[in-house]
């Protein structure tokens, strides 16, 4: 065998076993990771057991939804969208059905999604009749020239792209209607939270998504960090995928998600170093939390609130759901 032929063979082997592209076909790296959250806050351990179980069951079922996609070779972006759609349809979380209400007593929803492979992204803000804002965000990413659409324009685009529309009171659960003042207090104490997901697929691609009803009793038209790329959501195959939850204004001012990425790309920080450093430098106690996965499949969850509902599933057999620990 000539020296040149030997070099070509070695290169083929290198590309095959590193998950790169060979003859236009991407070779799987056989590793996936999915991390999701249901919000950071102050969920009381004194909640009725059935309510705690309902929250944990929702996270578990969302994890199973994403896992089925990833283990079959589905994309990170598909897994993230599917997980968040599930959580948007679950009234135990502050996204979609079950969203918290403005001072006028209506639900105004925000969401964003981002692909780490090419930095494509889409986001929507202040939508009131789109059943699944995360899917509308993906449509903005894939079917428009834009990144962020809001309010009536976003809803018009939702209709144009065939998404399911609902009446605005769809998002308000019967319990919310019946016990509005009581529910306000519960939610302000953190019983419900923003939802998000980050994923690494078998091909080494990262994705992140976040969806929320925002802050309870917010002013009409208020938009937080969840649909702001770089603040509450970010994904880049060079470094990390991140979804944030907490006091949105603080996350916007400090570009929390992008700051983690920047520390990793430009200063060479590890994932944990970048997340902890960002929280220590930019945020205060009780501001919130985030979930993250780096390009190598390491994941890190960090929060400075009393609790953070979250779950993890990996190709290596880990499956866990936690609120306080």
pLDDT given at position 23? 38
What angle (nearest 5°) sits at the alpha carbon of residue 153, between those of residues 149 and 155? 95
Examine the domain organization and report whether 10 and 139 are in the same domain: no
Mean pLDDT of 258-281: 98
Beta carbons of 247 and 232 less than 8 angstroms apart: no
Examine the domain organization and report whether 21 and 48 are in the same domain: no
Percent of the chain scoring above 70 in pLDDT: 86
Number of domains in the chain: 2
Rounded Cα gap, residues 75 and 71, in angstroms: 10
Q: What is the pLDDT of residues 176-187, one digit of tens each?
A: 666 566 656 655
Mean pLDDT of 88-96: 95
Contacts of 222 (CB under 8 A, 6+ apart): 102, 108, 214, 215
Examine the domain organization and report whether 60 and 162 are in the same domain: yes
Examine the domain organization and report whether 5 and 131 are in the same domain: no
Beta carbons of 309 and 37 less than 8 angstroms apart: yes
Catalytic residues: 194
Examine the domain organization and report whether 211 and 114 are in the same domain: yes
Q: Band of the pLDDT at 15, cuts 50, 70, 90?
A: very low
Beta bridge partners of 132: none
pLDDT given at position 272? 98
Instruction: Kindly state the helix (H) or strand (E) to which residue 49 belongs, with its residue range.
Output: helix 49-71
Name which of 15-29, 107-121, 132-146 the model is least confident about: 15-29
Rounded Cα gap, residues 29 and 124, in angstroms: 33
Examine the domain organization and report whether 209 and 290 are in the same domain: yes
Residue 303 sits in which domain range?
Answer: 31-322
Examine the domain organization and report whether 156 and 304 are in the same domain: yes
pTM listed for this prediction: 0.90
């Amino acid at each position: 065998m000539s020296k040149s032929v030997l070099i070509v063979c070695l290169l083929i082997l290198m590309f095959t076993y590193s998950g790169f592209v060979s003859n236009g076909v991407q070779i799987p790296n056989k590793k996936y990771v999915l991390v999701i959250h249901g919000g950071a806050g102050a969920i009381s351990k004194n909640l009725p057991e059935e309510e705690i179980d309902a929250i944990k069951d929702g996270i578990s079922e969302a994890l199973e939804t994403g896992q089925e996609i990833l283990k079959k070779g589905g994309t990170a972006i598909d897994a993230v969208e599917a997980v968040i759609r599930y959580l948007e349809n679950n009234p135990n979380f502050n996204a979609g059905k079950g969203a918290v209400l403005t001072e006028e007593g209506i639900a105004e929803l925000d969401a964003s999604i981002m692909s780490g492979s090419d930095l494509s992204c889409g986001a929507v803000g202040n939508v009131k009749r789109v059943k699944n804002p995360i899917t509308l965000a993906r449509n903005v990413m894939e079917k428009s020239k834009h990144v962020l659409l809001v309010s009536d324009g976003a809803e018009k685009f939702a209709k144009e792209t065939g998404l399911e529309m609902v009446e605005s009171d769809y998002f308000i659960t019967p319990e919310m209607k019946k016990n509005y003042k009581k529910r306000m207090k519960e939610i302000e104490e953190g019983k419900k939270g923003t939802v998000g997901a980050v994923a690494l697929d078998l091909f080494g691609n990262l994705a992140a998504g976040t969806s929320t009803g925002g802050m309870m009793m917010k002013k009409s038209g208020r938009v937080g960090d969840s649909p702001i790329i770089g603040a509450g959501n970010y994904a880049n195959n060079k470094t990390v995928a991140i979804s944030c939850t907490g006091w949105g204004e603080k996350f916007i001012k400090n570009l929390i998600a992008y700051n983690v990425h920047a520390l990793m790309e430009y200063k060479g920080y590890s994932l944990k170093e970048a997340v902890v450093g960002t929280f220590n430098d930019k945020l205060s106690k009780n501001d919130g939390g985030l979930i993250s996965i780096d390009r190598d499949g390491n994941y890190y969850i960090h929060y400075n609130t009393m609790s953070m509902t979250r779950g993890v599933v990996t190709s290596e057999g880990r499956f866990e759901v936690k609120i306080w620990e």
